[in-house]
Structure 1
Amino acid sequence: MNITQGLAILPLIILAAFAMGILLINVFSKKPKDDLTGYIALTSIIFVFLSLFIYVGRGKVTFGSMISVDVYSIFFYLVFVVIGVLTILSSIEYVKTTGIQSGEYYALILFAMIGMMLMASSTSLIMLFVSLEMMSIPIYILAGFQRNESRSIESSMKYFLLGAFASGFFLYGMSLIYASTGGTSYQAIAEYLAKTERLDLSTLTWLGIGFLCIGFFFKIAAFPFHAWTPDVYEGAPTSVTAYMATGVKAAAFAALVRVFFTALPVFQHDWTSILWLIAVLTMIVGNFTALVQKSVKRMLAYSSIAHAGYILVALVAGNEIGRSAILFYLLAYAFMNIGAFSVLMVMAKKNDYHEDLDSFAGIGFKYPLTAVAMSVFMFSMAGIPPTAGFIGKFYIFSAAVKSHYYWLAIIGVLNSAVSVYYYLRVIVYMYFK
Structure 2
Amino acid sequence: MYDSLFLDTGRVLPIFIVAAMGIAVVLVDAFRNDSPSIPILSAIGIVAAFALEGMRLFDPTTAFYGQVYSGGAASFANMVILLGALGSVALSVPYLKSVGRNYGEVHALMLFATAGMMTLASAGSLVTLFVGLETMSVCLYVITGLAREEKTANESALKYFLLGAFSTGFFLYGIALLYGATGTMIFSEMGVGLAATGRTGIFVVGVGLLLIGFLFKVSAVPFHMWTPDVYQGSPTTLTGFMSTASKAAAFAALIVVLARALPFDMVVGEIQFALAAVAAVTMIVGNVIALVQTNVKRMLAYSSIAHAGYIIAGLAAGSPEGYGGAMFYLLAYTLMNLGAFGVIAALEWDGEQGAEQTLDSLSGSGYRYPILGVTMGVFMFALIGFPTLAGFMGKWFVLGAAVDAGMTWLAIVGVIASMISAFYYLRVLVVMWMRSSDEAPEASHNNAALTTSTSAVLVACAVLLIVLGVVPGAVIGTAEGFFDGLIQFASLR
The question of a shared fold, defined as TM-score above 0.5 by the shorter chain, is answered with yes
- Give the TM interval when normalised to the shorter protein: over 0.9
What's the offset of the Cα at 1:59? 4.1
Distance 2:128 2:154 in 1: 30
Question: Secondary structure of 1:226's partner?
Answer: coil
1:163 paired residue number: 164
- C-alpha contact 2:60 2:69 (8 A) present in aligned 1: no
What's the offset of the Cα at 1:254? 0.6
Question: Secondary structure of 1:348's partner?
Answer: coil
User: Letter of the aligned partner of 1:14 in structure 2?
Assistant: I
2:289 paired residue number: 289
User: Letter of the aligned partner of 1:233 in structure 2?
Assistant: Y
- C-alpha contact 1:19 1:110 (8 A) present in aligned 2: yes
1:422 paired residue number: 424
Distance 2:347 2:117 in 1: 29
- C-alpha contact 1:90 1:239 (8 A) present in aligned 2: yes
CA distances 1:389-425 after superposition (whole Å, capped 9, x unpaired) = 0111111111111112110111111111110111001
- C-alpha contact 2:12 2:63 (8 A) present in aligned 1: no
Distance 2:287 2:146 in 1: 29
User: Letter of the aligned partner of 1:280 in structure 2?
Assistant: A
- C-alpha contact 2:58 2:71 (8 A) present in aligned 1: no
- Name the TM-score, length of structure 1 as normaliser: 0.95
- Residues matched between the structures, number: 428
What's the offset of the Cα at 1:7? 1.8
- C-alpha contact 1:194 1:266 (8 A) present in aligned 2: no
Question: Secondary structure of 2:63's partner?
Answer: strand
Q: Is 1:325–2:328 an aligned residue pair?
A: no
Structure 1 vs Structure 2 CA RMSD: 1.7
What's the offset of the Cα at 1:192? 2.7
Equivalent in 250, 259, 262 of residue 260 of structure 2: 262
1:6 paired residue number: 9
CA distances 1:372-396 after superposition (whole Å, capped 9, x unpaired) = 1111110100101111101111111
- C-alpha contact 1:115 1:131 (8 A) present in aligned 2: yes
- C-alpha contact 2:88 2:237 (8 A) present in aligned 1: yes
- Name the TM-score, length of structure 2 as normaliser: 0.84
2:173 paired residue number: 172
CA distances 1:243-264 after superposition (whole Å, capped 9, x unpaired) = 1111111111011011111111
Distance 2:406 2:301 in 1: 31
1:346 paired residue number: 346
Distance 1:338 1:272 in 2: 30
Distance 2:323 2:34 in 1: 45
- C-alpha contact 2:350 2:357 (8 A) present in aligned 1: no
**Structure 1, 295-304 or 175-184: larger mean CA deviation:** 175-184
Distance 1:189 1:76 in 2: 23
User: Letter of the aligned partner of 2:194 in structure 1?
Assistant: L
Q: Flag the 1:3–1:56 CA change in 2: closer, same or farther, 3 A.
A: farther
Q: Flag the 1:55–1:70 CA change in 2: closer, same or farther, 3 A.
A: closer
2:207 paired residue number: 209
Q: What does residue range 47-126 of structure 1 map to in structure 2 within 5 Å?
A: 47-55=48-56, 58-126=59-127
Unaligned 5+ runs, structure 2: 436-493
CA distances 1:263-296 after superposition (whole Å, capped 9, x unpaired) = 1123111100111111111111100000000011
Q: Is 1:363–2:365 an aligned residue pair?
A: yes
**Structure 1, 362-371 or 54-63: larger mean CA deviation:** 54-63
Q: Flag the 1:128–1:56 CA change in 2: closer, same or farther, 3 A.
A: closer
What's the offset of the Cα at 1:39? 1.3
Question: Secondary structure of 1:386's partner?
Answer: coil
Equivalent in 403, 407, 410 of residue 408 of structure 1: 410
**Structure 1, 181-190 or 226-235: larger mean CA deviation:** 181-190
User: Letter of the aligned partner of 2:427 in structure 1?
Assistant: R
What's the offset of the Cα at 1:323? 1.3
Distance 2:129 2:60 in 1: 22
- C-alpha contact 1:221 1:308 (8 A) present in aligned 2: yes
CA distances 1:61-106 after superposition (whole Å, capped 9, x unpaired) = 3211311213110101111121011100100101111222521100
User: Letter of the aligned partner of 2:171 in structure 1?
Assistant: F
What's the offset of the Cα at 1:202? 2.7
2:470 paired residue number: none
CA distances 1:329-361 after superposition (whole Å, capped 9, x unpaired) = 100100110100000111026989752010111
User: Letter of the aligned partner of 2:174 in structure 1?
Assistant: G
2:148 paired residue number: 147
Question: Secondary structure of 1:334's partner?
Answer: helix
2:463 paired residue number: none
Equivalent in 383, 389, 396 of residue 398 of structure 2: 396
Q: Is 1:271–2:274 an aligned residue pair?
A: no
2:29 paired residue number: 26
- C-alpha contact 2:54 2:75 (8 A) present in aligned 1: no
What's the offset of the Cα at 1:195? 5.3
Q: Is 1:381–2:383 an aligned residue pair?
A: yes
Q: Is 1:220–2:218 an aligned residue pair?
A: yes
Distance 1:394 1:246 in 2: 20
Q: Flag the 1:349–1:21 CA change in 2: closer, same or farther, 3 A.
A: farther
Percent same amino acid among aligned pairs? Answer: 42
What's the offset of the Cα at 1:183? 1.5
CA distances 1:217-240 after superposition (whole Å, capped 9, x unpaired) = 100001110010000110111111
